[in-house]
Amino acid sequence: MATSQSSMSQHFQQSSYQINNHHSHRVVFDASVIQNETNIPKEFIWPDHEQPSLRTQELKVPLIDLGSFLSGDPLAAKESCNLIGQACQEHGFFMVVNHGVDTALIADAHKFMNLFFDLPLYEKQKAQRKLGENFGYTSSFTGRFASKLPWKETFSFQYCADQKTSSTMVEDYFRSKLGQDFVKLGKVYQDYSHAMSALSLNIMELLGISLSVNRYHLKNFFEDHDSIVRLNYYPPCQKPELTLGTGPHSDPTSLTILHQDHVAGLEVLIENQWRCIRPNTSAFVVNIGDTLMAMTNGRYKSCLHRAVVNSNTARKSIAFFLCPKKDKMVIPPAELVDQEKSRLYPNFTWSDLLEFTQKHYRADMNTLDAFCTWLLANNNRE
């Protein structure tokens, strides 16, 4: 470990956020009502130093042509690897085009997202996410946190690459939570999840090459993944300068593949400055998560990012969070560990990190370090 356990323990004590925070008053986030309010409830107002800037410069992220790479062109593969390697060592964000995902499927995924989030609140709450779970519907996180609430709704569901369970699991989830009328939505997101699974494994192959390890090492590790898909809806806000759609955090997962609509909102912290990533509906935004940062022994970065809102237009996005099978041990390849670059993080499983973020900690810029402290402390007690 690069950081001493005592200093990490001190850091954890300072930054840990108690999730099971019971409070007597619980604000209701009904997007159809709250988007017209000029008096923003205090629970959604962020501290002055965290409030968004009205003017943010664009972050130029590399645009990777996957079509050339997948065609087997060695020069295209080399160029893509160089671009990805540089971006992942600096901030962990890049875009992919010619990705092979059907544009009609992407359009349907956005169309049906509108149908879901336009439902009355009580209908969406049939799929309400329970405390400690990571699947289901949330109207902000009003049942989980008491302050700095995000200005958004989400609906999350599981996708497993295991062929025995993957063929209808998303359809089945929509049917069980929302009823027979939503099977068509479930089928669209089943197909979308399957397409994201294939795309994520192709990207993992490219990342393996860029790291100069066996090109199939990461792809093989994630081939039986147990991942999360999340639909995000950010309604308009009459005082967007006071709140955030999603607070500053790094993703605890391995790889995020995000499709944005045409509305800007995604921002990344670079050299202590927030920079925006311009929407490109032909591309997917890809970023490294904490789990992959640990698996690359810190070579590739999991960067702080957030989402801002505006007063005029709703914003929607679909995130696919690639995660390893829960019992797999996250260990960097031997090529990424040597005398100059010793191990930065202990071995852990995704189920350990998932439990930590769902029950003990609110994801932020320090999630991975705090998790390592918690993990070591638990292991020492055993």
Active site residues: 315
Cα dihedral sign for 142, 15, 59, 230?
A: negative
- 239: its two tokens: 């005082």
Closest Cα partner for 29 from 154, 179, 157?
A: 154
Cβ atoms of residues 301 and 91 within 8 Å: yes
Q: Round to whole Å and give the CA distance between 278 and 285.
A: 10
Long-range contacts of 349-358 (CB under 8 A, 24+ apart): 349/324, 350/226, 350/254, 350/291, 350/323, 350/324, 350/325, 350/326, 351/326, 351/327, 353/252, 353/290, 353/291, 354/134, 354/252, 354/323, 354/326, 356/252, 357/252, 358/19, 358/132, 358/133, 358/134
